A and B are shown apart, each in its own frame.
Chain A
Amino acid sequence: MLLTITTTHQPATDLGYLLHKNPARLQSLDIAAGQAHLFYPEATPERCTVALLLDIDPVALVRSHRGPAGEGFALEQYVNDRPYVASSFLSTALSKAFNTAMNGTCKDRPELPDTLLPLEATVAVMPAANAEQLQRLFSPLGYEVTTEAHALDPTVPEWGDSRYFTLRLRHAALRLQDLLSHLYVLIPVLDNDKHYWVNASEAEKLLHRGAAWLPQHPDREFITRRYLRNLAQYVNPTLERLLEGDEPLSEESSDFDSLETANPSGAEATHNLGQPAAREKQSLHDIRLDRVAEEIRRLGAKRVLDLGCGEGKLVRRLLAIPHVEHVLGMDVSHRELQRAQDRLHVAEMPPRQRERLTLTQGSLLYHDPRLNGYDAAAVVEVIEHLDESRLAAFEQVVFARAQPGAVLVTTPNADYNQRYETLSAGQFRHTDHRFEWTQAQFREWAAGVAERNGYRVRVEALGPEVAEVGAPSQLAVFER
């Protein structure tokens, strides 16, 4: 919320000309949900500092819907760090307050914008994953970076540091325009949030402000992705334009992930089997779904249930099987179902295809007669999201009551977890997993279910197998 820029260029007061702002006056301008104040705490020929102080109004933030949406924690709309941190609000204020300087124009002193100045900038405070992230983003641009960490709560030392830093950047010789562009782009990248809707013009802004330095920045892909909120439709063309004439675009930058905060819940995502990480996730889930679809094909099932269908990746595969006459995709999350509707373009499906598909909300813990009369049910990566004590109800609903001809259940193989470097012992691959079973545990459960409900069962490894620990996932095929 506070940015100061200091120069010791002689005379330092040239800063006022460069910024086109009079050092003798406090100036205030309206920005989204608040005000930006611009003033000079010191303005001598030896040393001149300009300060940009943001006063974000928390009440206006809520009323203009520019603050956090408060999903998961309703009060977040009202109690949040937006008024105190450097964020996209600061970037917008920068471009508004220092428009001419950012564009490198200075009517009175046309030579000044291209003059290399000794510059110092302070941001209080800057959110970042860690101090190293600040170093990685600013050092390649020639800055000497100093960071001051702040405790989450000084009275509770065991909570450690917060994600807020006081950031100081020092550069011996730099155009002011460049400093402003760096800050303009990198502040929202570090904060990883934007108070406005990102659209195509955002890519233009990035290309404009980053043209001079971004293509050479080692973390350009990370910066681009973050800046464009990971929206593939903007990120990819932008990267291509940025790197025009340069080396070909790599699939995934390995630096990309190491810059992110360590996220144990994304174990499968960051797991590296000698392949780029995100691709591995894709392929493991695809292996699962392909295997299940193949099994449905083998079974010759005509009416198929996809229980816990999520956004419909398996549904799509099932609809492609000629002998499948009807698919009922069910999920407990209404939002996931909406996503499935969109992804599968249900509204635009031709009537014949539309008739083959039903998407509906439902729960695997309540008896549901709509599930009766199916040839097969796929339950892919679902059971581990149920409390173990609720599995008896799940068993009743699917095996004892709905009684599909075949049931395909997949779940992670806990034996394999030791292969994930980011997982510590006993930790699960996903924060919502209530359990992860070893191969023996899964076999035992499957055998019990089969016996109690009159099914035969076969359990197999799912995914590339590794000696000792097996494959990442496992599949049980129950048949009546």
Chain B
Amino acid sequence: MLIGTSGAGKSTFARRLFRSSEIVSSDQCRELVADDENDQSATPDAFALLHYLVGLRLKRGLLTVVDATNVQPEARKTLVQLARDYHVLPTAIILDVPDRVAEDRNRVRAERMHIGRHVIPQQRQQLRRSLKTLKAEGFRHIYHLRGTEEIDAVQSVVRDPLYNNRKHDTGPFDIIGDVHGCYDELVQLLTKLGYSVEAEPMADVRDLGVRVQAPAGRRALFLGDLVDRGPASPQVLRLVMRMVQDGTALCVPGNHDIKLLRHLGGKQVNDKHGFAETLQQLAGESDTFKNQVRQFLDGLVSHYVLDGGKLVVAHAGLREDMQGRGSGAVRAFALFGETTGEIDEFGLPVRYNWASEYRGRAMVVYGHTPVPEPEWLNNTIDIDTGCVFGGRLTALRYPERELVTVPAAQVYCEPVRPLSVVSSQVPVAGNGISSQKNELATGNSQLSTQLTAQQQHDDLLDIRDVTGKQIIRTRLLPSVTIREENGVAALEVMSRFALNPKWLLYLPPTMSPSETSALPDLLEHPAEAFDYFRRQDVQRVVCEEKHMGSRVVVVLAKDEDAARRRFGVVGEGPGKCYTRTGRNFFNDTVLETAFLARLQEALTTAGFWEKFSTDWLCLDAELLPWSAKAQELIKNQYAAVAAAATAALPVAAGVLAQAATRNLDGIEALLARTTARQAAAEHYAEAYRRYCWPVESVADLRLAPFHLLATEGRTYFDKDHAWHMETLRALCLADEGLLRATPYRVVNLADITDVEAATQWWTDLTAAGGEGMVVKPYDFIPAGRKHLVQPALKCRGREYLRIIYGPDYLLPGNLERLRERAVKTKRNLALREFALGVEGLERFVAGAPLREVHQCVFGVLALESEAIDPRL
């Protein structure tokens, strides 16, 4: 905040030392709202705009220079409050020039001629009065520049990052929860983590008597509450202080540590909550040590932002808007967390669970509240497992996300609130206060308690995560934008027709056809698909027979218990088979159960669970026959068209034949055309009939899987398509009645014999009425390219396309017009959907909260509402 009278040179000063975008000036705001920077009547609106702009910048954590006189305390008060609201530190720079200088400057500026004589002395008087109160007003730094010389002498402004900013520090770390004086357990835990702890002779009074050797490259990171309650707080302090000194550990303070600091600073503190023990233990310690402790604790920073912003540690956790910021509120939150102001039945404050609303990208590791079991919730984890209460001491290895624990040797302190009760205070979906309400709300408290905190939280998604314009970052494309109007369509489909979103891990992308063939009588031909991949520098492709059924995604667990564990779904069976729009494939639960059971059996027979060390899988597949799902559509649309055509055309042909006997001009041509249409109608009927057969039981269904998408802990986008084909063929052998292996061939695009053979294969397949084939790059995601390559192109057969383009599409005149089709939009869409699909599934296997997976799935559905020629 610049403070100075009119004409003190604030704007010049600001322009000289800061980026123009960092300066928000009241004059400029006045001009923006009133076209005149000296229009005093516009001042209230100008300041409303100024405060708005400053607020927006501070929200983003950007350095902001307020260029206004700021000589009145009430003007500063609003700005200081803004700084507090956004947890940034306000700094005052006072430009203090003699009245004469200011008056002279104003005089040469025509637009300021009107400023009255009294104005500047009055402002200077206000400024002088202000000097004494600035500190109390909340300014952390105050720079008072006296006279033009001092002002002009400022060459640059040095920007110090906050102490909590350790983004450059990438770890790896072993993050250790609340120790509370449990020295033995701490040593055990460090040893288990690969540290070696040795006593060291104390040569100097300042020596701490202990030395820790860290495993290569690793450091410990203490979450605070080193002291109180436990048996050996001073030893714990010694060890941690030594490690911090040696650079083998970082430490953030806990509320108990700060209490000790207050005591050491001579403040009166009560001896409850285990402080009495600490006092007793410290009684025998030297003043030198106590002094060292005081300095150590005083130097601790409330929280750290580490590893490029990917990791945040704080004793009691930290909301996203406070991370990397500095204010009293940030410090208090980091130490105590958030409370509702209510008191529970044990007389303890009820904690508001900030983690249930956490949406930040940084992982937050914290302690403070003892929990029986550390649980991930929205990328946060509380690892205080109540060692001092007889629980365990826990470390989280970062970035591995592994938990390492040692049990407490004994109960050092009886908790006021039993640990088991604490467990039900674990955050859940509800209002973030207590899970009890929510357990009941799911209608089955016993079952819901078997769900993890994250799974219970995921029972309810938030509409704000899917509606409005969404920009999704993906691994394959830097950002995929979902337009608001597409989201509108997807919300309806998702709400009215889709399965429980917990099942929806993945939606397949749309698939573009090859470019239109120029060959007579054909719309599509493999040559164009091969050409596309050649142009993309793909040397090898895989051609897979395209089964004409319904595209399905199968998500299936070994049993219902595994489904609960992995998907957090209770009472909905072991898995689901769903369509491209997230609808359940089956309407008939008996058939569904039989189908899933049979598939489970096949997986067991094939030894799949063991082979992939998993108890669930996600398959991309085609389910046949087409008529199983599309029966109504086939009857009402496809069969109806054939019925109309085959009933009407013969009558027309008959009448024309009769007319032909009268030798009327032009009748022959019309007869020929009608006869051709009659034949086309017959072919058309044959085309759809091929894909229809009655489904009475599971014995009539065929599943043709073509991608193994994911199992526990991993996806298979890194495997090539030959691997997918072979892996799934092995599975299909386990139940050839249900499962159909997909015939395929690998084609070297440079090898003309290969290409010709594949083309012949396609010709044969389609001549026999087959739908056609799908051409994919050999690698699922071809690496080392600037652009993403189409994951697959389809080449559909001449007969099959009758279903898509209508019975008459091959008639003279029609095909020529139908060739004018553009695949570009469809391809662009396919890439975006592919990137989203891969991203969603990768997020799922990485254990991301459901909303992050759902965002991708919802995105695919939203993109599908783009208007695209449905025949492509």
Residues of A within 8 A of B (CB): 1-2, 4, 24-26, 28, 37, 39-43, 49, 51, 53, 55, 58-59, 70, 73-81, 83-85, 122, 124-125, 127, 150-153, 155-156, 158-159, 162-164, 166, 332-334, 361-369, 385, 389-390, 392-393, 395-397, 399-401, 432, 448, 451-453
In the complex, which residues of chain A have a beta carbon less than 8 angstroms from the beta carbon of B442? Answer: 392
Within 8 A of A (CB), among B10-48: none
- Whether B647 contacts A125 by the Cβ 8 Å rule is yes
Q: Report how far A39 CA is from B669 CA in the complex, Å.
A: 13
- Whether A2 contacts B648 by the Cβ 8 Å rule is yes
Interface pairs A-B: 3 shortest CB-CB: A74-B870, A162-B643, A124-B651
Choose from B488, B651, B655 the contact partner of A361 (Cβ within 8 Å): B488
Choose from B443, B492, B808 the contact partner of A392 (Cβ within 8 Å): B443
Closest approach, in angstroms, between the C-beta of B18 and any C-beta of chain A? 38
A-B contacts, 11 listed (Cβ < 8 Å)? A39-B664, A80-B806, A81-B644, A152-B639, A162-B644, A365-B495, A366-B461, A366-B491, A367-B460, A396-B429, A396-B441
Q: Report how far A432 CA is from B640 CA in the complex, Å.
A: 24
Q: Please, which residue of chain B has its CB at the minimum distance from the CB of A165?
A: B647
- Most chain B CB neighbours (cut-off 10 Å) among A127, A156, A362: A156
B contact residues, total (Cβ < 8 Å): 71
B649 at the interface (CB under 8 A from A): yes
Segment at the A interface, from B277-285, B430-438, B591-599: B430-438
B672 at the interface (CB under 8 A from A): no
- Whether B648 contacts A124 by the Cβ 8 Å rule is yes
- Whether A332 contacts B496 by the Cβ 8 Å rule is yes
B823 at the interface (CB under 8 A from A): no
- Whether A400 contacts B640 by the Cβ 8 Å rule is no
- Whether A393 contacts B644 by the Cβ 8 Å rule is no
Choose from A40, A163, A366, A401 the contact partner of B659 (Cβ within 8 Å): A40
In the complex, which residues of chain A have a beta carbon less than 8 angstroms from the beta carbon of B817? Answer: 59
B116 at the interface (CB under 8 A from A): no
- Whether B662 contacts A164 by the Cβ 8 Å rule is no
B463 at the interface (CB under 8 A from A): yes
- Whether A453 contacts B463 by the Cβ 8 Å rule is no
Known A-B contacts A364-B495, A396-B459; A389 and B640 likewise in contact (beta carbons under 8 Å): no
B666 at the interface (CB under 8 A from A): yes
Closest approach, in angstroms, between the C-beta of A130 and any C-beta of chain B? 15
* Given A152-B635, A152-B640, A332-B495: 10 more A-B contacts, CB < 8 Å: A26-B665, A39-B664, A41-B662, A53-B656, A78-B805, A78-B871, A150-B643, A389-B572, A392-B441, A452-B437
In the complex, which residues of chain B have a beta carbon less than 8 angstroms from the beta carbon of A364? Answer: 495
Choose from B643, B644, B664, B808 the contact partner of A26 (Cβ within 8 Å): B664
- Whether B463 contacts A41 by the Cβ 8 Å rule is no
Closest approach, in angstroms, between the C-beta of A64 and any C-beta of chain B? 13
Interface of A is mostly: mixed
Q: Please, which residue of chain A has its CB at the minimum distance from the CB of B444?
A: A392
Q: Please, which residue of chain A has its CB at the minimum distance from the CB of B803?
A: A79
Q: Report how far A397 CA is from B461 CA in the complex, Å.
A: 9
In the complex, which residues of chain B have a beta carbon less than 8 angstroms from the beta carbon of A392? Answer: 441-443, 459
Q: Report how far A368 CA is from B569 CA in the complex, Å.
A: 22
- Whether A164 contacts B431 by the Cβ 8 Å rule is no
Q: Report how far A80 CA is from B496 CA in the complex, Å.
A: 28
Q: Report how far A125 CA is from B808 CA in the complex, Å.
A: 18
Q: Report how far A475 CA is from B641 CA in the complex, Å.
A: 45
- Whether B635 contacts A361 by the Cβ 8 Å rule is no
- Whether B643 contacts A151 by the Cβ 8 Å rule is yes
Choose from B460, B664, B674, B806 the contact partner of A58 (Cβ within 8 Å): B806
- Whether B638 contacts A401 by the Cβ 8 Å rule is no
- Whether B647 contacts A81 by the Cβ 8 Å rule is no
Known A-B contacts A25-B664, A363-B491; A41 and B639 likewise in contact (beta carbons under 8 Å): no
Known A-B contacts A75-B871, A84-B645; A401 and B431 likewise in contact (beta carbons under 8 Å): yes
Q: Please, which residue of chain B has its CB at the minimum distance from the CB of A63?
A: B817
Q: Report how far A327 CA is from B496 CA in the complex, Å.
A: 24
- Whether B640 contacts A81 by the Cβ 8 Å rule is yes
Q: Report how far A84 CA is from B463 CA in the complex, Å.
A: 47
B814 at the interface (CB under 8 A from A): yes
In the complex, which residues of chain A have a beta carbon less than 8 angstroms from the beta carbon of B441? Answer: 392, 395-396, 399-400, 452-453
B642 at the interface (CB under 8 A from A): yes
What is the 8 Å Cβ interface bit string for chain B, positions 626-652, against chain A (1 contact, 0 not)? 000000010101111111111111011
Closest approach, in angstroms, between the C-beta of A43 and any C-beta of chain B? 7
Q: Report how far A348 CA is from B517 CA in the complex, Å.
A: 54
Q: Report how far A70 CA is from B806 CA in the complex, Å.
A: 14
- Whether A73 contacts B637 by the Cβ 8 Å rule is yes
- Whether B635 contacts A42 by the Cβ 8 Å rule is no
- Whether B438 contacts A400 by the Cβ 8 Å rule is yes
Q: Please, which residue of chain B has its CB at the minimum distance from the CB of A335?
A: B492
B170 at the interface (CB under 8 A from A): no
B500 at the interface (CB under 8 A from A): yes
In the complex, which residues of chain A have a beta carbon less than 8 angstroms from the beta carbon of B101? Answer: none
In the complex, which residues of chain A have a beta carbon less than 8 angstroms from the beta carbon of B462? Answer: 366-368
- Whether A79 contacts B665 by the Cβ 8 Å rule is no
Q: Report how far A445 CA is from B754 CA in the complex, Å.
A: 64
In the complex, which residues of chain A have a beta carbon less than 8 angstroms from the beta carbon of B476? Answer: none
- Whether A400 contacts B804 by the Cβ 8 Å rule is no
Q: Report how far A449 CA is from B215 CA in the complex, Å.
A: 55
In the complex, which residues of chain B have a beta carbon less than 8 angstroms from the beta carbon of A389? Answer: 500, 571-572
In the complex, which residues of chain A have a beta carbon less than 8 angstroms from the beta carbon of B430? Answer: 396, 400-401
Q: Report how far A392 CA is from B803 CA in the complex, Å.
A: 41
Choose from B440, B461, B638, B694 the contact partner of A367 (Cβ within 8 Å): B461
- Whether B460 contacts A79 by the Cβ 8 Å rule is no
- Most chain B CB neighbours (cut-off 10 Å) among A334, A366, A385, A396: A366
Closest approach, in angstroms, between the C-beta of A123 and any C-beta of chain B? 9
- Whether A332 contacts B666 by the Cβ 8 Å rule is no
What is the 8 Å Cβ interface bit string for chain B, positions 835-872, against chain A (1 contact, 0 not)? 00000000000000000000000000000000000110
Choose from A24, A41, A59, A124 the contact partner of B656 (Cβ within 8 Å): A41
- Whether B652 contacts A41 by the Cβ 8 Å rule is no
Q: Please, which residue of chain A has its CB at the minimum distance from the CB of B681?
A: A84
